[in-house]
Amino acid sequence: MTRHQKRLSAPNARPIERKTQTFTVKAGAGPHGESGVPLIILLRDVLGYVDTTKEERYALNQDTVLINGTAVSDEQRPVGLFDILVFTEREEHYRVFPEAGGRLALTPIDADSAQSRLGKVVSKQHVAGGATQITLHDGSNIRVEETGVDYSTRDSLVIDNETSEIIAHFPYEEGALVTAVAGSHSGEIGEIDAITVTSGSGENTVSVVTEDGRFETIEPYVVVIDENFTEGESE
């Protein structure tokens, strides 16, 4: 299987120039799938930490590049929405966050904020033993024993990167703080003012109030966050 694809056909989330060269690196198998950004693109094109394949492989073989707390050596490993990227030798920590136009950007955060990541619940099912398996937007699964807490699709969870335990739960509801992750309002943050249920097969719509006004989008385009989640930027 080829490790390259044409730049013009790459997902909009990729932070790359489309017309400077014909090909770019194709995302490998892993979390986020084809919507993720190959790690090498972040290292080379976004951060400028490597220039050559030799430099790239050396950097990744030192176990100093972490994604969600785990050392990564695969240059094609997809990095996606809300992932935590850490460079231990540089003492740099980043969160992947949406920006205008649907591109993914690296937001600097502090070390404490890098200990956990946000995940949107996309599905859940009961499994053996009476537990519930929750699937997050990046494809990862969290097993939850009976706790009396009802986790619903479209809710958001904060997951500890070391233990994989749920340390915070943000329900999807009116009044919730959200960010748009796709569409023309990508990167905007505000509170849900109203959720309109659409009859038939159409997507429900969400009205969001921001500091500068308001916007309306469809449910799949918003993710619930928390004020503490957005305040982790490093000084």
- Which of 170, 80, 78, 76 is CA-nearest to residue 121? 170
Domain stops at, among 55, 89, 111: 111
Rounded Cα–Cα distance for residues 81 and 154 (Å): 15
**Structure-token pair, residue 177:** 């703080």
Name the band, by pLDDT with cuts 50, 70 and 90, for residue 225: very high
Whether residue 168 lies inside any domain: the answer is no
124 plus 55 within the same structural domain: no
Whether residue 140 lies inside any domain: the answer is yes
Domain stops at, among 129, 158, 187: 158
Least confident piece of the model among 58-67, 69-78, 93-102? 93-102
Percentage of the chain lying above the pLDDT 90 cut: 57
Rounded Cα–Cα distance for residues 150 and 67 (Å): 28
CATH number at residue 27: 3.10.290.10
In which element (H, E) is residue 3 found? none
Burial class (CB in 10 A: 0-12, 13-18, 19+), 188: buried
Task: Answer whether residue 235 shows pLDDT above 60.
Answer: no
Give the structural domain span for 100: 4-111
50 plus 147 within the same structural domain: no
48 plus 90 within the same structural domain: yes
9 plus 38 within the same structural domain: yes
Whether residue 164 lies inside any domain: the answer is no
Classified as helix, coil or strand, 151 is: coil
21 plus 96 within the same structural domain: yes
Whether residue 216 lies inside any domain: the answer is yes
Let me know how long the chain is: 235
**Structure-token pair, residue 114:** 């890098």
Name the band, by pLDDT with cuts 50, 70 and 90, for residue 8: very low
Give me the number of domains the chain comprises.
3
Task: Answer whether residue 32 shows pLDDT above 70.
Answer: yes
CA 186, 192, 193, 198 torsion-angle sign: positive
12 plus 93 within the same structural domain: yes
Least confident piece of the model among 94-103, 109-118, 165-174? 94-103
Domain stops at, among 111, 143, 166: 111
66 plus 31 within the same structural domain: yes
Whether residue 235 lies inside any domain: the answer is no
> For the chain, give me the number of helices (H) and strands (E)?
3, 19
Whole-prediction pTM: 0.84
10 plus 97 within the same structural domain: yes
Residues forming beta bridges with residue 30, ordered by sequence position: none
49 plus 86 within the same structural domain: yes
53 plus 146 within the same structural domain: no
Longest dimension (CA), the chain: 55
102 plus 24 within the same structural domain: yes
CATH number at residue 146: 2.40.50.740
Classified as helix, coil or strand, 197 is: coil
Task: Answer whether residue 10 shows pLDDT above 70.
Answer: no
How much is the average pLDDT of 10-20? 46
How much is the average pLDDT of 53-77? 91
| Secondary-structure percent of the chain, ordered helix, strand, coil, rounded to 5 | 15, 35, 45
CATH number at residue 181: 2.30.30.30
Whether residue 163 lies inside any domain: the answer is no
Whether residue 167 lies inside any domain: the answer is no
Burial class (CB in 10 A: 0-12, 13-18, 19+), 26: middle
36 plus 104 within the same structural domain: yes
CB neighbourhood size of 20 (10 A): 8
Residue range 167-219, pLDDT digits in tens: 999 999 999 999 999 999 999 999 999 999 998 889 999 999 999 999 999 99
Classified as helix, coil or strand, 97 is: strand
- Which of 132, 140, 220 is CA-nearest to residue 181? 220
